[in-house]
Amino acid sequence: MSWYEDWFNQDEYELVYHRRDEREAEQVVDLIEQLAQPAPGSEILDVGCGRGRHARVLARRGYRVTGIDVAERALQIAQARAAAEGLSNVRFVRHDMRNPFCQACFDGVVNLFTAFGFFEEDADHFRAIRAMATALRPGGWLVQDFLNADYVQRYLVPRDQEQRSGIEVIQERWIENGRVNKRIRLRRDGQEQIFYESVRLLRLEDFQQLYRAAGLTLEATRGDYAGGPFTPDSPRLILYARKTAA
């Protein structure tokens, strides 16, 4: 099992990322609407949707949303939360982002909170971008939210720890072979669980190359969820692209 299927299925995932809340998701969707200006009722594919934090915000705003992910437990949680809100315009499907979900059936695609860069082979990253492009109708839009590799390298915190709900959370980070890696240690009642993350440090020029090969045109970048410009010191690399209309 890949690290992302293992870790993203754990209930403790939300404990570690407790700061990534509904308020942040609302801000991200505000930015998506500013960049893409989706038509009311647009059909949107959320690739790597996880527990559906962004998909549910999009659905609340009237879009028809499909969230895909490989983490089955995360999808179950997403579906339960959408049902609890009475959201009938969102669905969640287990699917590998490297494989096309459909052909020309969505107005927009989102890929958020660094739900990318996981794969060992760069060819798989291209497969995933191509699958996103394939899902778009001609002229459709893509918003992709990734880490800023320069920022990560400059400000990497090698280690931190905190107590959350009786659990000691220790995070250790390092950069190796063009990837940023994290070891997550969760200690409770004398027991320890260990999980890992590993993300390829893709840069703007890497995405530009991937987009061109997939028939996408990069139209804008942003450096944070407030819509600030992208610079080497930006915490995020947010990309807005369009599929060739022909």
The pLDDT, as a whole number, for residue 14 is 84
Rg (CA), the chain: 18
Is 90 exceeded by the pLDDT of residue 5? no
Structural domains of the chain, ranges and CATH numbers in brackets = 3-148+202-243 (3.40.50.150), 152-197 (no CATH)
Tell me the mean pLDDT in the region 107-123: 97
The lowest-confidence range among 28-42, 48-62, 120-134, 158-172 is 158-172
Residues forming beta bridges with residue 167, ordered by sequence position:
164
Contact status, residue 169 vs residue 16, Cβ threshold 8 Å: yes
Is 70 exceeded by the pLDDT of residue 1? no
d(CA 143, CA 1): 28
Buried b (16+ CB within 10 A) or exposed e, 142-170: bbbbbbbbbbeeeeeeeeeeeeeeeeebe
Helix 204-214 × helix 122-135 angle, to 10°? 50
Give pLDDT tens digits for 210-232.
999 999 999 999 999 999 999 99
d(CA 226, CA 98): 30
pLDDT category of residue 12 using cuts at 50, 70 and 90: confident
Average pLDDT over the chain, rounded to an integer = 95
Buried b (16+ CB within 10 A) or exposed e, 12-38: bbeebeeeeeeeebeebbebbeebbeb
Is 90 exceeded by the pLDDT of residue 107? yes
Tell me the mean pLDDT in the region 171-191: 95
The pLDDT, as a whole number, for residue 246 is 65
The pLDDT, as a whole number, for residue 133 is 98
Tell me the mean pLDDT in the region 2-30: 87
d(CA 126, CA 211): 9
Is 70 exceeded by the pLDDT of residue 92? yes
Is 80 exceeded by the pLDDT of residue 9? yes
Is 80 exceeded by the pLDDT of residue 113? yes
The DSSP result for 43-57, as a single string, is EEEEET-TT-HHHHH
**How are strands ordered across the β-sheet holding 179-188?**
159-164, 167-176, 179-188, 191-200
Query: What are the angstrom distances between the C-alpha of 17 and each of 72, 128, 153, 206?
Result: 19, 25, 20, 27
Q: Which residue has the tokens 């280690």?
A: 159
d(CA 97, CA 28): 21
Is 90 exceeded by the pLDDT of residue 2? no
Tell me the mean pLDDT in the region 159-165: 91
Is 80 exceeded by the pLDDT of residue 27? yes
